Structure 1
Amino acid sequence: MNYFLTYTVYVLILSVLMGISTWKLFKKLGYNPLFAFIPFYNYFIILKETKHPKWWAVLSYLPIVGPIMMSVFHLYLMKKFGKTLFKDQFLTVILPFIYMATVNYSKDAELEDENELFLTDEEKEAKKKDSFLGSVTFAVVFATIIHVFVTQPFGIPTGSMERTLLVGDFLFVNKWSYGYRLPMRPLAIPFLQGTIFDSGEKGNPKDDPKSYVDGVKLPYERILQFNKPQKHDVVVFNYPQDSVHTAIDRKDPYVKRCVAVAGDTFEMRGGRLYVNGKPETILGDQEIQHRYIVTTGSQLDIPSLYNTFGFLPVVEQQTNNGFVYGFQGLTDKMAAEIKKLPQVIDIKEDVQEKGYSAVAYRDENKKKIDTTQSIFPINKPWNQDWYGPLRIPKKGDVVTLNQETLPEYQWIISEYEHNSLENKNGKIFINGKETNQYTIKQDYYMMVGDNRDASLDARFFGFVPEENIVGKPMFTWMSLQGAFADNSSSYQAPFKVRWDRMFKATNTGEANKTSYWWIAAMILILFFGWEYFVKLFRKKKTDDDL
């Protein structure tokens, strides 16, 4: 409810600005000046007078799409009053309500005669260019609508979900899988997630120019939520502990498998996953992998192994007696086959010791803890192979707060559920009041990668709030081996297209994926068929006019 109330306020503010800056122009168009203040209808009139599709008016106040369409409609209106120079168009886009107001209140703003019989050749050519630019703009707007409101493309740059999702897979994500999460930053550059560009390793990510206006914000709201993430679902979500972006929907997107839902108990025992005390169920599309240390008497042929097994990040180290290899992402079957190689002296699974706490530091004195690389919560003697048991918070849970439990819940209280939290003199204060308990306001999930030993997942960043959930991957539309550099490996895979993975379903749980090549074929047929019929219609209209 807060979302729609806030959104309505934004619409009314924009409508008032539109009315103040254009009411005289509407009067000169022959309309009641008050129509300039009416949301949607004001743009409907502009489209009607400039002979453009009037239904475009419904796009004028949509998040992200709206600002683009508003700029287009403002340009149409200014052109109607003869403002066609580049400086006019530039000012209309950059300072819309200010520039339109100067035209609105000027004494020389008059309607231009647009009778095509009196157009010069230059004016006719300019009109063709405007028509072309309009087509391009609408194509961009249409793509933006699909991107914002239906499905979003997503690339896999790391091997944390091997072999379910491969490095270089490009997916379409269904934003309606768990109910549609309404945009929270409505003023943004289309197709960009969080920043316009990355300054690289030497720069501070917080200084990178943002692709959205952080000051214009809407609260979290999800509509038509008929399902919630279930155990075994592959889920796309926004990284909870992203310190660069405060907007939930602008945090970095991650993809992992939901291994435990709200109310479940999660545990790792010697690198094996348990939920509610039982070993995990392995689905047909899921292959569990582990890290192995392989000792050999002579050098292995890594390119040959890569061609045999596919994804194979490996670090090679030469010793006095031969070579030592650290393999990530080996299934039990692959490990057995590598063990048979004649060069192999020894192979063993690399499992961390029980009781060893995986804490990372940002300084040599080990005083500043790097929470992004440390096991969650930081006060437990856990690591990624021996973890838990940890209960996943559920909406309505009343949890006990003390110095031992606070590290487990502090991010939930202060960041995910937006309360003020203080811990001073051994006492805990929430929103200024001392307390020893807290009621959880939303469901949380445990998201872990299938490639457990090469995954920065919930064992490090903790619980994933429901509000961070984006949706389910639908299918892989492109798969490119070698598309991303693998910093964890001393071997770089050769570039090639994986044709066998393209247009295959992602989230079915089945070993043999459903193919969606027919969707690609239909899209191409509809695209070229539409172009053909549009050209045919235009030709017929021209012939009729003659």
Structure 2
Amino acid sequence: MDYFLTYTVYVLILSVLMGISTWKLFKKMGYSPLLAFVPFYNYFIIQKETKHPKWWVVMAYLPIVGPIMMTVFHLFLMKHFGKSTFTQRLLTVILPFIYMAVVNYSKDAEVEKEDELYLTEEEKSAKKKDTFLGSVTFAVVFATIIHVFFTQPFGIPTGSMERTLLVGDFLFVNKWSYGFRMPMRPLAIPFLQGTIMDTGEKGNPKDDPKSYVDAVKLPYSRILQLNKPQKNDIVVFNYPQDSVHTAIDRKDPYVKRCVAVAGDVIEMRAGRLFVNGKPEQILGDQFEQHKYIAHAGSQLDVPALYKKYGFLPLQEIQTNDGFIYDFQGLTDQTAKEIKALPQIIDMKEHIWEKDSAAISYKMNSMRDGYSKNIDTTQSIFPINKKWNQDWYGPLKIPKKGDVVTLNQETLPEYQWIISEYEHNKLENRDGKIYVNGQETNQYTIKQDYYMMIGDNRDASLDARFFGFVPEENIVGKPMFTWMSVEGLFKDGGSTYQAPTKVRWDRMFKATNTGEANKTSYWWVAVLILVLFFGWDYFAKFFKKKEKED
């Protein structure tokens, strides 16, 4: 309700601005000046008078799409009054209500009459150009509608979901899987997620130019929510602890498997996942994958390993007595096969010690083989637990309506929920906890939360590190892989770069089915394209033939 109330306020503000800046122009077109203030109908009149499709008006106030269409309508109106030079169009785009007001209150603003019979060749050429630009604009708007309101393309740049989703897979995400989340930043550049460009490693990401106007915001709302994420669903969501973007729907998109839903209890025991005390259910297209450290007497043929298994060692370190390899994402069967290679002296699964706080490390070449270079950037969630990615929990996933106890021990578990996800003022001072200024020892959870973890358990930045994923961060389900390119992204710091090639067998395969052997329907897409362009070609051919006859 808050969403649509805020939306209505924005519409009324825009309508008042429109009316103030164009009422005299409407009067000169033969209409009551008051109609310039009426939402939708004011733009309907502009479309009618400028002889453009009137049904375009339905898109006038849609989030993200609306500002584009309004700009188009303003340009139509200004051209109708003879303001069509480059400078005048530019002013209409960047200062719409100000420039239209200048025209509105000027004395010489009159409707420009146009007679096709007396147009010069230059004017006819300009008109054709305007028609072409209009077609391009509509194509962009149509694509924006699909992108914002129905489905969004998403690429897989890392191996956290191997072997279910491969590095270089490109997916289409269904935004209606769990109900449609209404856009929260209505003024934004189409097709861009959070920023217009990256200023580079030396710059502060917070200083990167944003692709949206953060000041114009709408509250979280979801419509037609018939389903919620279930255990084993592959889910696309916005990274909860993204500190660069305050807008939820503009935070970086992640894809992981939902391993536990609100109310479940999750636990990792020696790298194996348990939910509510039971081992996880392994689906047909899901593989348990783990980290192994191998000691080889001589160098392994890495390209040959990649060709056979489709993965790369994270690191290769030469030592005095051979080579050390850090393998991530090995199934038990693959590990068994690699261990049997004649070069391998020793190979063990890497499991963190129990009750040791999580750290990550990189192997460095040393006389003793390798050393641990501590990296504390991947602290475990919650930060006061002696847990790691192999020994984790038990941890209960918060559910809407749960009343949780707050004290110094439990606060790290719930502080992000209270302050960031549910937007309260949280204070912890003198050993006492205050929520919105009131001292308290409990809190009622306002929304459901989920645990999202990658299938490649030892090579995934997931909920074990960043914590619970709020329901408001959920985007949707991947539907299918529409393109897959091997070697497109460099794989996790590996010294070997895979060759670039298209994986035809993965194209147009459905995700989220759990089936081991999915059918690829890429040939259906090719057939549709052939029929579409073929029909267009033959339609033009027969139309030309008919004219000749």
**In the alignment, structure 1 residue 513 sits paired with structure 2 residue 521:** no
Asked if structure 2 preserves the Cα contact closer than 8 Å seen for 1:166 and 1:311, the reply is no
Match of 1:93 in 2: 93
- Aligned partner of 1:153: which letter? P
Q: Taking every aligned residue pair, what percent have the same amino acid on both sides?
A: 81
Deviation sequence 1:468-507 (CA, Å, 0-9, x none): 0000000111111111122431211111111111111111
Match of 1:388 in 2: 393
Query: CA–CA distance in 2 between the matches of 1:313 and 1:530?
Result: 49
**In the alignment, structure 1 residue 417 sits paired with structure 2 residue 448:** no
> Which residue, 503, 506, 513 being the options, matches 1:501?
506
Match of 2:458 in 1: 453
Match of 1:366 in 2: none
Query: CA–CA distance in 1 between the matches of 2:375 and 2:14?
Result: 44
Match of 1:189 in 2: 189
Give the superposition deviation at 1:359: 5.4
Could you say if the C-alpha distance between residues 540 and 28 of structure 1 is closer, same or farther in structure 2, counting changes exceeding 3 Å?
farther
Give the 5 Å matches for 1:221-260.
221-260=221-260
**Secondary structure at 2:378's aligned position in 1?**
coil
Structure 1, unaligned stretches of length 5 or more?
A: 362-368
Match of 1:364 in 2: none
Query: CA–CA distance in 1 between the matches of 2:494 and 2:358?
Result: 22
Could you say if the C-alpha distance between residues 250 and 534 of structure 1 is closer, same or farther in structure 2, counting changes exceeding 3 Å?
farther
Match of 1:365 in 2: none
Asked if structure 1 preserves the Cα contact closer than 8 Å seen for 2:425 and 2:437, the reply is yes
Give the superposition deviation at 1:312: 2.4
Query: CA–CA distance in 1 between the matches of 2:237 and 2:540?
Result: 42
Give the superposition deviation at 1:135: 0.6
Match of 2:112 in 1: 112
Match of 1:483 in 2: 488
Asked if structure 1 preserves the Cα contact closer than 8 Å seen for 2:314 and 2:492, the reply is no
How many residue pairs are counted as aligned between the two chains? Answer: 536
Deviation sequence 1:438-461 (CA, Å, 0-9, x none): 000000000000000000000000
Aligned Cα RMSD in Å?
2.0
> Which residue, 463, 467, 478 being the options, matches 1:462?
467
Structure 2, unaligned stretches of length 5 or more?
A: 362-373
Deviation sequence 1:95-144 (CA, Å, 0-9, x none): 00000010111110111111110100000000010011111110000000
Query: CA–CA distance in 1 between the matches of 2:83 and 2:389?
Result: 64
**In the alignment, structure 1 residue 298 sits paired with structure 2 residue 325:** no
**In the alignment, structure 1 residue 398 sits paired with structure 2 residue 388:** no
Match of 1:72 in 2: 72
Asked if structure 2 preserves the Cα contact closer than 8 Å seen for 1:482 and 1:495, the reply is yes
Q: How does the TM-score come out when normalised to structure 1?
A: 0.95
Asked if structure 1 preserves the Cα contact closer than 8 Å seen for 2:59 and 2:69, the reply is yes
Runs (4+) off by over 3 Å = 369-372, 529-541
Asked if structure 2 preserves the Cα contact closer than 8 Å seen for 1:421 and 1:431, the reply is yes
Query: CA–CA distance in 2 between the matches of 1:214 and 1:3?
Result: 16
Match of 2:218 in 1: 218
Asked if structure 2 preserves the Cα contact closer than 8 Å seen for 1:314 and 1:491, the reply is no
Give the superposition deviation at 1:373: 1.7
Could you say if the C-alpha distance between residues 539 and 110 of structure 1 is closer, same or farther in structure 2, counting changes exceeding 3 Å?
farther
Could you say if the C-alpha distance between residues 422 and 359 of structure 1 is closer, same or farther in structure 2, counting changes exceeding 3 Å?
farther
Match of 2:368 in 1: none
Query: CA–CA distance in 1 between the matches of 2:12 and 2:197?
Result: 33
Could you say if the C-alpha distance between residues 370 and 196 of structure 1 is closer, same or farther in structure 2, counting changes exceeding 3 Å?
farther
Could you say if the C-alpha distance between residues 425 and 404 of structure 1 is closer, same or farther in structure 2, counting changes exceeding 3 Å?
same
Could you say if the C-alpha distance between residues 34 and 518 of structure 1 is closer, same or farther in structure 2, counting changes exceeding 3 Å?
farther
Match of 1:17 in 2: 17
Could you say if the C-alpha distance between residues 141 and 370 of structure 1 is closer, same or farther in structure 2, counting changes exceeding 3 Å?
farther
**Secondary structure at 1:454's aligned position in 2?**
coil
Deviation sequence 1:140-197 (CA, Å, 0-9, x none): 0000000000000000010000011001111000000000000000000000000000
- Aligned partner of 1:78: which letter? M
Query: CA–CA distance in 1 between the matches of 2:344 and 2:375?
Result: 37
Match of 1:201 in 2: 201
**Secondary structure at 2:146's aligned position in 1?**
helix
Query: CA–CA distance in 2 between the matches of 1:480 and 1:131?
Result: 37
Give the superposition deviation at 1:313: 3.7
Asked if structure 2 preserves the Cα contact closer than 8 Å seen for 1:403 and 1:426, the reply is yes
Could you say if the C-alpha distance between residues 101 and 459 of structure 1 is closer, same or farther in structure 2, counting changes exceeding 3 Å?
same
Query: CA–CA distance in 2 between the matches of 1:216 and 1:371?
Result: 37
Asked if structure 2 preserves the Cα contact closer than 8 Å seen for 1:144 and 1:191, the reply is yes
Query: CA–CA distance in 1 between the matches of 2:76 and 2:539?
Result: 23
Asked if structure 2 preserves the Cα contact closer than 8 Å seen for 1:103 and 1:109, the reply is yes
Could you say if the C-alpha distance between residues 536 and 218 of structure 1 is closer, same or farther in structure 2, counting changes exceeding 3 Å?
farther
Which stretch shows the higher mean deviation, 61-70 or 505-514?
A: 505-514
Asked if structure 1 preserves the Cα contact closer than 8 Å seen for 2:313 and 2:325, the reply is no
**Secondary structure at 2:433's aligned position in 1?**
strand
Asked if structure 2 preserves the Cα contact closer than 8 Å seen for 1:313 and 1:486, the reply is no
Which stretch shows the higher mean deviation, 94-103 or 532-541?
A: 532-541
**Secondary structure at 2:255's aligned position in 1?**
strand
**In the alignment, structure 1 residue 62 sits paired with structure 2 residue 62:** yes
Match of 2:270 in 1: 270
Could you say if the C-alpha distance between residues 534 and 441 of structure 1 is closer, same or farther in structure 2, counting changes exceeding 3 Å?
farther
**In the alignment, structure 1 residue 356 sits paired with structure 2 residue 361:** no
Give the superposition deviation at 1:397: 0.4
Which stretch shows the higher mean deviation, 172-181 or 287-296?
A: 287-296
Give the superposition deviation at 1:400: 0.3
Query: CA–CA distance in 2 between the matches of 1:441 and 1:501?
Result: 40
Could you say if the C-alpha distance between residues 52 and 531 of structure 1 is closer, same or farther in structure 2, counting changes exceeding 3 Å?
farther
Match of 1:39 in 2: 39
Query: CA–CA distance in 1 between the matches of 2:182 and 2:216?
Result: 14
- Aligned partner of 1:489: which letter? S
Deviation sequence 1:226-250 (CA, Å, 0-9, x none): 0000000000000000000000000
Could you say if the C-alpha distance between residues 513 and 360 of structure 1 is closer, same or farther in structure 2, counting changes exceeding 3 Å?
closer
Which stretch shows the higher mean deviation, 424-433 or 370-379?
A: 370-379
Asked if structure 2 preserves the Cα contact closer than 8 Å seen for 1:312 and 1:329, the reply is no
Asked if structure 2 preserves the Cα contact closer than 8 Å seen for 1:313 and 1:329, the reply is no
